Amino acid sequence: MLQEVRLIGGLARPRSTALQNTPSAVFRLLSSSSTTTTAQSDSESFLIYDKDPAPAFMRDDVQQLLKSITRLELEKVFRKRSVKDNTVEYRFMTDEQLRQELLQSIGKAQKMLQMPPVVQEQKDNCRVISKDGALKALATSKFVFTDITYGLKNSQRSIVVRHPDGTLQEAPYEMRKRLNQIYFPLTGRSVHEPPMFEHAHLLRLLDEGKYEFVLDRACVQFEPYEKDYHQITAKVYQHVNESRSFDALRSTRHFGPFAFFLAWHKLIDDLLLDMIKQDYLRNGIELIVLYSTLHGNVLDESVKQIALEPQMPTLFDAPEKSIDELKQDEQLLSIIEQFVNDQATKKVQLNLAVQAYREILSEKLRLAQGIRRMHGES
């Protein structure tokens, strides 16, 4: 069923006439890096993907690495955000009931940490269906015809525009999105872009550290293939990296795409430094393997096996590490050090962090071995 709609007032107006008349080349520039392309909007540059990232992002090994790097923390995943004075529920359970409850909580948390997809930006392609000169000057406004048949996906819905010169053309994406939202509204999505995504408001939110709020809202308002979604998420990721506020996104569904973004654009130095300082050496190895996978760097198979080895998420604060675990940390630290010397950009900072961690690790290992000897263990 087709419904004829005549757009009135601001519904059909373009978002910015000045932008439409400006060549697209003005908003694209190339950086000195061979793998990094930037775009410019609102006087702020942001990184974009130079090719379709979806095939790499959807790989099973990449997904496994990203999920592990995210670090599942039940307390953060299930935190209450609506009120400051959170209530706590206590239950008396047997050991078996506690184990079942933990397994259910892990399953729920993994669903809540499902990552937004990383796909290529979609280009607008408005195919001209026909040109009817007899309809020229019939009206001064555009007419939009929308198929409102129930049960169709929004991407499959036919929406066409009749121009004043008689041209019948497929509707551009922004118009399709507005009309789909009018006839089949999605909860939480606005017909027009919310003011919070304007440059001044967005910058204030980023300075306040509300990264997760901005990214959650972007996932509701935009589709993953929209240019605005790519622009906003890139600005958030860059701000998080520059301010080193990694814990703000860690153990959220956005940390995986964030780590993928940094690895794709060769910006993992600060995140790797943070992982060393927080004693997340295994996550550091996973980040290195992710980086090497995306850029085709040769990496020892044993390193990949360490990174891809299944591991139960840490639900509670771990006790002191055993001697075997400390020796494994020495091995992981050597792998990180080799990567720093070969690939890293901020070699000085990373080498200092590695050296400091090695000194602490040696002291812990010496202490653990001394305690074992005191207890008469071999």
Confidence class for position 12, pLDDT limits 50, 70, 90: very low
Query: Which residue is it, tokens 């041209």?
Result: 167
The encoded tokens of residue 121 equal 């930006």
Check residues 8 and 241 and name the one with the higher pLDDT. Answer: 241
**Angle between the N-to-C axes of helices 255-264 and 227-243, in degrees from 0 to 180, rounded to the nearest 10:** 90
User: What backbone phi and psi angles, to 5 degrees, belong to 46?
Assistant: -145, 150
**Angle between the N-to-C axes of helices 281-295 and 269-277, in degrees from 0 to 180, rounded to the nearest 10:** 160
**Angle between the N-to-C axes of helices 227-243 and 199-207, in degrees from 0 to 180, rounded to the nearest 10:** 30
What is the percent of the chain where pLDDT is above 70? 83
Strands of the 128-131 sheet, one edge to the other: 2-6, 143-147, 159-162, 167-170, 128-131
pLDDT(376) > 50: yes
Query: Which residue is it, tokens 């702020």?
Result: 44
Candidate from 13-22, 104-113, 171-180 with smallest mean pLDDT: 13-22
**Angle between the N-to-C axes of helices 323-342 and 281-295, in degrees from 0 to 180, rounded to the nearest 10:** 40
Confidence class for position 80, pLDDT limits 50, 70, 90: low
Confidence class for position 280, pLDDT limits 50, 70, 90: very high
